[in-house]
Structure 1
Amino acid sequence: MGELIYEIRQNAYLKLILHALKHKASAVNGVLVGRFDANKGVVEISDAVPLFHLSIGLLPALEIALMQIEEHYASQGLSLVGYFHANERSDDYDLGIVAKNIGDHLCRYFPQAGILLLDNRKLEALPKVKDRSHVMQLYSRDGSKWKVEESGQLVIKEPSANVMLLDYVSTQKWEDIVDFDDHLDDISKDWLNSELFK
């Protein structure tokens, strides 16, 4: 499985980073939606759905969210292809038990599922540094364990994504992101973030 490429679309990339920036003092998580092109060996990540910032390990809320997400995206021929996670503490760079458990759950249905762990150091440095590298680490499942993949296996589909990200950081666009926790508090809030980039 080491030769798989995970290709993330710009909007998915921006959504998961904005989610982490909005809740800097909390752990956040979400799922990655897309499809697998077996001929090319590419997991195409076309969207990211921010899930939680309050109770990331709460199973009933997670199950409800996953059912709604799967139902919505199935009509577009898309399914859950991975998970993203940002740790609460800025000095915590480990893939924790909650992230591994949710990743394991997704792998039962999609064996090529990956986990993107956001790098809090790079997130904090975003406003100050004009770095073009992505701010996350890719993990894939190797047998029963999660292992760090080479940085070249995670590709941002649109090269301008980091330029857009810096623009969104400077305008505090993260204030507009809605996650499933926000939706559960107020069902009028759109967990799909349909208007975020319009």
Structure 2
Amino acid sequence: MLEMALLQVEAYCKGKNLVIAGYYQANENYSDNEMNHVARTIGRKVQDNFHDACLFMIDNRKVKAESVSQPYKIYTLRESNWKDVDCKNISEDDIAKEECLYALLKSGAQRQLCDFDNHFDDVRNDWRNLKLNDLINRCT
């Protein structure tokens, strides 16, 4: 299923002159917030095709509007290992994006996210998340 999803995303991106620039993962188990073999493997494949690729890991315990810390970690591939990106030097634009993120979490927008598992269960679930992307664009 994963291979089919990646092939479909790749074809979509080529048709729209886009690149796959990263991979996100939210582990199924609430307390499992570690990057696993699948995330590392897919991240490497993405990085093979896009040098500045990143891996975006969701920390399930922090995905709530009242959270005071980022509900995710960003990693980049450096010296053959995935390294946590230091997000301490943030710009005003980054702060606005963080505020948007927490507003979206407070509204429950994350419940609208459809991934390929949802799409394969019912093809009416749009993996491109056009409605959610529209909400994000209006927020930022």
| TM-score, structure 2 normalization | 0.76
Mapping for residues 87-102 of structure 1, pairs under 5 Å: 87-102=27-42
Tell me the amino acid that sits aligned with residue 72 of structure 1. Answer: Y
Instruction: Give me the whole-angstrom Cα distance separating, in 2, the residues matched to 1:63 and 1:158.
Output: 33
Pairing partner for 1:83 from 16, 23, 39: 23
Q: How many residues are treated as equivalent by the alignment?
A: 134
CA RMSD after TM alignment = 2.6
Task: Note the residue ranges of structure 2 that are not aligned, 5 or more in a row.
Answer: 136-140
Who is 1:119 aligned against?
Answer: 59
Q: Deviations over 1:5-48 (max 9, x none)?
A: xxxxxxxxxxxxxxxxxxxxxxxxxxxxxxxxxxxxxxxxxxxx
Instruction: Give me the whole-angstrom Cα distance separating, in 1, the residues matched to 2:57 and 2:91.
Output: 15
Who is 1:51 aligned against?
Answer: none
Who is 1:194 aligned against?
Answer: 130
| TM-score, structure 1 normalization | 0.57
Q: Deviations over 1:75-132 (max 9, x none)?
A: 3321111111122333333221111111122222223221111223322xx2334x3x
In structure 2, relative to structure 1, the CA distance for the partners of 1:136 and 1:156 (3 Å cut) is farther
**91-100 vs 167-176, greater mean Cα deviation:** 167-176
Tell me the amino acid that sits aligned with residue 89 of structure 1. Answer: N
Higher relative contact order (CA 8 A, sep 6+): 1
How big is the shift at 1:154? 7.9
The percentage of aligned residue pairs carrying the same residue is 29
Alpha-carbon contact 2:20-2:46 (below 8 Å) kept: yes
Larger strand share, 1 or 2: 1
Who is 2:12 aligned against?
Answer: 72
Alpha-carbon contact 1:81-1:114 (below 8 Å) kept: yes
Instruction: Give me the whole-angstrom Cα distance separating, in 2, the residues matched to 1:156 and 1:135.
Output: 19
Alpha-carbon contact 2:65-2:103 (below 8 Å) kept: no
Who is 1:137 aligned against?
Answer: 73
Instruction: Give me the whole-angstrom Cα distance separating, in 2, the residues matched to 1:146 and 1:101.
Output: 11
Tell me the amino acid that sits aligned with residue 107 of structure 2. Answer: T
Task: Note the residue ranges of structure 1 that are not aligned, 5 or more in a row.
Answer: 1-60
Instruction: Give me the whole-angstrom Cα distance separating, in 2, the residues matched to 1:98 and 1:65.
Output: 14
Which consecutive segments of 4 or more residues in structure 1 shift more than 4 A?
Answer: 152-158
